[in-house]
Amino acid sequence: METTHLDCDVLIIGAGSAGIEAYKAASAAGAFCILVERGPLGTTAQRSGDIPTALLQSAGACLSALKDASACGISLNSFAFDNSEVLNALRQVRARSTTEVLSFIYKIPEKQRLMGTARFLDYNRAAVNDEYIISFKCAVIATGSSPLIPFEIGRLGGVLTASDFFEQDRLPKSLAVLGSGMIGLSLGQALAHLGVEVTVLGHERLWQLTDEQVAVAARTQLQRDFALELQAELSAVEKLPDGYGIYYLDENHYENYLKTERVLCAELRQPNLDKLNLKALDLQLNPHGLLPYNERTMQTRLSHIFVAGDAAAMSMSTAVAKRQGRLAGHNAAAYPNLCEELPRVHIALTTTNPALAMVGLNLEQMKARARQGHHFVAAEAPLPAGRHTPRRDGGIMRLYCDEATHRPLGAELCAIGGEHLAHFLALAIEKQLTVEELSAFDFYHPSLEAGIAQACAFACKALARTGNHSYGI
């Protein structure tokens, strides 16, 4: 087969959320770009991530609202439902949402969009399926990540991941979810609302929470919808004629047996870096299997090689992946005249109800900071459920405030509407507002945001007891 030689300013490997944004940014800056994708087309967020999960949760929320109608004095004489068309309806909406991305990709000239597996040959050349050799000035690695099934479980056959769950013909009657991270909790709750008998088997930590009081509140609320087993240690998994049998030790070290129709591995993901031949670039992965990079420029150890998205940091949001892609693409096009981006306030969210969220520094990070002499107070506030569900427990917020400046530096929360609170808090931290300023803000009552004022008021009282009044505005 004859090899075609191509030249470009910026080579972008991966046409997911980060890669597409990198291509747009680099092209807008005047660079001639080549985009390589090994397939399938369409971003992970659209195929098996944010979008289909949100659609599944919307379907579950419809049924959950009907079940909660009695709390508002509404009586339902009969209540039956059929979930057999949920996945078909979801795929139809998902297909429409991918049209924009596919339309953009197919508008790229054929010689600038290549389907195949890319591997580096040296510092400035890469091959694609041995059909093309591309010479480039800069490159952006935006290859994303893929779900991983442990070998002992995968060898049984038929075990699902988030990538293939949405391709099933129907919802299972029962499901064991391995992993209590964002995917496991979000899918688990949505399916439980849709009538699936769900058991989530997780490790010691619930999602990423480090504050035990928030974790306890989250576990209490989530267990109302599905069985949640933390610190579960699998003893054996066996394939049965009509499903799977799972033996596990619970947190009290009692042996348990669970029979389920399907098993979903929602815990492990790996960055898609194995086919790139990074040895040709002398690039070493960190202990997490990721490429070390400069967060302000998205450069790797090689100044002309950039990285963005899950190839740089796992468990990030689509919004962050896109932002990183834009920065990497712009800098690759402008190299060596780089733009540095200031660090952003960290936000991590689950899409459960109540939502779990972490903003800024978590409790473990605040404690580590305190060991360096930077003291803080932690204010706790119960949260309202908002205007529409006043009878429900809205959750809990733990706000971490610096003693010297009176500025909130982080928070962990479990709250109905927690995604809205998290974004508001992130903006407040970024703008360096004090808890005095936040507590004085005219929040509408009753509203979800009113809980922020309450937490800040508690923080003000705690700070007053410390006797420290040297805060900045």
- Residue-range domains of the chain with CATH: 4-39+116-144+272-334 (3.50.50.60), 148-267 (3.50.50.60), 347-466 (3.30.390.30)
pLDDT for the residue numbered 443: 86
Question: Please, what are the averages of pLDDT over each run of 10 residues along the chain (473 residues)?
Answer: 93 96 98 94 77 89 83 79 92 83 90 96 96 97 93 94 92 97 94 97 93 96 96 96 97 96 93 96 91 96 96 82 96 97 93 95 98 96 64 81 97 94 96 96 84 92 74 30
385 to each of 108, 353, 392, 393, how far by Cα in Å?
47, 11, 6, 6
pLDDT for the residue numbered 96: 80
Two tokens, residue 448:
């979800």
pLDDT for the residue numbered 387: 52
pLDDT for the residue numbered 390: 45
| Separation CA 425–CA 433 (nearest Å) | 10
Other beta carbons less than 10 A from residue 26's beta carbon: 30
pTM: 0.91
pLDDT for the residue numbered 47: 77
pLDDT for the residue numbered 203: 86
Q: Which residues of 177-196 are buried (b: 16+ CB within 10 A; e: fewer)?
A: bbbbbbbbbbbbbbbbbbeb
